[in-house]
């Protein structure tokens, strides 16, 4: 690989002049400028990112880590999220460094390692939670990061999030328009901040419609198929005149659990029970019936996070520093075919 010295020799100038030409700084005569560019072209010279990094004390890397899903669960948005970030980052001369999260016991040590060894200039976080220790640590050492998801409202940091409340509200309103009145919600445990926001959307939409949320209409469960299946069973064993006619599940995986429970109870999803999911996993369109779901603007989230992060790395404050994006309801047969006579 040719270095700046080779270019300098080839062009008959000092390495400083080459550097000035390449960075468009300093005062260089037009003739020299051309000569240097020709030498660069001839040798196929590209500056070494490592040497530049040492000089500038930066790595031009964005660190990102995630906890892998158990084999029976899926993360439908991860691939697009990483790719979206990688693409946006590349446009700014940055790259995404994927590092593993191992034990849940010590969440921050992989992050600390990256910071201390100067591997990354900033982090993208996802799956943040209230009092997230990573957010706490990074705020503490004042290291640049942007989160996908909110955390403790008292902490001031840059984040991008999907407006789960607005999303679920859309879903409930859609069901209301179809004539549903007994609408249940399959929610997450109380600790989950994202779960809280989404559940709030459900409660607000119901309240706005003047509907009381009956006891038992909200069931909290972990994001597992089996839990969702069991929760649905408790609803479906109620008499037809009392049981929910529609279910909003906080993820597609849980929605699938509900759909299968309904089918196993002899009900036709879409006609006897409307189901809505969240995430719009690629699979949703191929389920029977295809699942209505809330699609998150993943590419935009990745893009926004990267540009905000680069602002922070450069010492600027991104504006806005908090971004809430609306998900879009993709209507499919799991609700469309369930129109109720009003």
Per CB under 8 A, 41 contacts a second copy:
no
In the complex, minimum distance from the CB of residue 56 to a second copy, in angstroms, rounded to a whole number: 10
Write each residue from 298 to 337 as x if it is in contact with a second copy (CB under 8 A), else as -, in one continuous string.
----------------------------------------
Tokens describing residue 86: 């990688």
* 25 backbone dihedrals φ, ψ, rounded to 5°: -125, 170
Taking the CB of residue 271, how many other CB atoms lie within 10 A of it? 12
**From CA 4, how far away is CA 17, in angstroms rounded?**
10
Q: How long, in residues, is the chain?
A: 342
Per CB under 8 A, 50 contacts a second copy:
yes
Would you tell me which residues interact with DNA (CB under 7 A)? 1, 3-5, 12-17, 19-20, 22-23, 25-29, 31-32, 45-48, 51-52, 54-57
Select 11 or 96, whichever has its Cβ closest to a second copy: 96
Residue 288 interaction partner, one of a second copy, DNA, none, beta carbon < 5-8 Å per kind: a second copy
Quote the DSSP letter at residue 210: T
Per CB under 8 A, 116 contacts a second copy:
yes
Tokens describing residue 313: 């790395």
| Rounded CA Rg of the chain | 26
Taking the CB of residue 134, how many other CB atoms lie within 10 A of it? 22
3-state secondary structure (DSSP) of residue 340: coil
Select 172 or 254, whichever has its Cβ closest to a second copy: 254
Select 24 or 341, whichever has its Cβ closest to DNA: 24
Tokens describing residue 38: 């020709």
Taking the CB of residue 73, how many other CB atoms lie within 10 A of it? 12
Residues that bind a second copy (CB under 8 A): 1, 44, 46-51, 53-54, 59, 61, 66, 68-69, 71-76, 78-80, 82-83, 86-87, 90, 95-100, 102, 116-119, 225, 253, 256-257, 260, 263, 281-283, 285-286, 288
């Amino acid at each position: 690989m040719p270095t700046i010295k080779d270019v300098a020799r080839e062009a008959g100038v000092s390495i400083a002049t080459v550097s000035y030409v390449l960075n468009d700084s300093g005062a260089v005569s037009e003739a020299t400028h051309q000569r240097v560019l020709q030498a660069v072209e001839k040798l196929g010279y590209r500056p070494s990112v490592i040497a530049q990094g040492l000089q500038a004390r930066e790595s031009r890397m964005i660190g990102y880590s995630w906890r892998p899903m158990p084999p029976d669960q899926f993360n439908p948005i991860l691939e697009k999220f990483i790719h979206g970030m990688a693409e946006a980052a590349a446009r700014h001369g940055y790259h995404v460094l994927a590092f593993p999260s191992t034990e849940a016991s010590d969440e921050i040590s992989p992050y600390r390692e990256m910071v201390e060894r100067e591997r990354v200039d900033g982090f993208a976080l996802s799956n943040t939670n209230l009092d997230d220790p990573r957010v706490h640590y990074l705020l503490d050492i004042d290291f640049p990061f942007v989160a996908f998801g909110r955390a403790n409202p008292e902490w001031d940091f840059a984040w991008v999030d999907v407006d789960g409340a607005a999303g679920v509200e859309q879903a409930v309103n859609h069901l209301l328009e179809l004539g549903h009145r007994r609408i249940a919600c399959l929610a997450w445990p109380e600790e989950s901040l994202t779960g809280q926001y989404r559940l709030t959307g459900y409660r607000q939409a119901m309240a706005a419609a003047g509907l009381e949320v009956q006891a038992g209409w909200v069931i909290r469960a972990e994001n597992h198929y089996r839990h969702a299946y069991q929760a649905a069973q408790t609803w479906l064993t109620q008499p037809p005149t009392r049981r929910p006619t529609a279910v909003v599940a906080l993820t597609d995986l849980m929605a699938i659990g509900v759909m299968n429970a309904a089918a196993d109870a002899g009900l036709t999803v879409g006609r006897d029970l409307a189901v809505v999911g969240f995430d719009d996993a690629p699979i949703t369109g191929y389920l029977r019936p295809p699942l209505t779901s809330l699609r998150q603007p993943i590419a935009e989230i990745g893009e926004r996070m990267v540009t905000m992060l680069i602002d922070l790395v450069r010492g600027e404050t991104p504006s806005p520093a908090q971004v809430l994006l609306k998900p879009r309801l993709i209507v499919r047969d799991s609700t469309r075919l369930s129109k109720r006579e009003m």
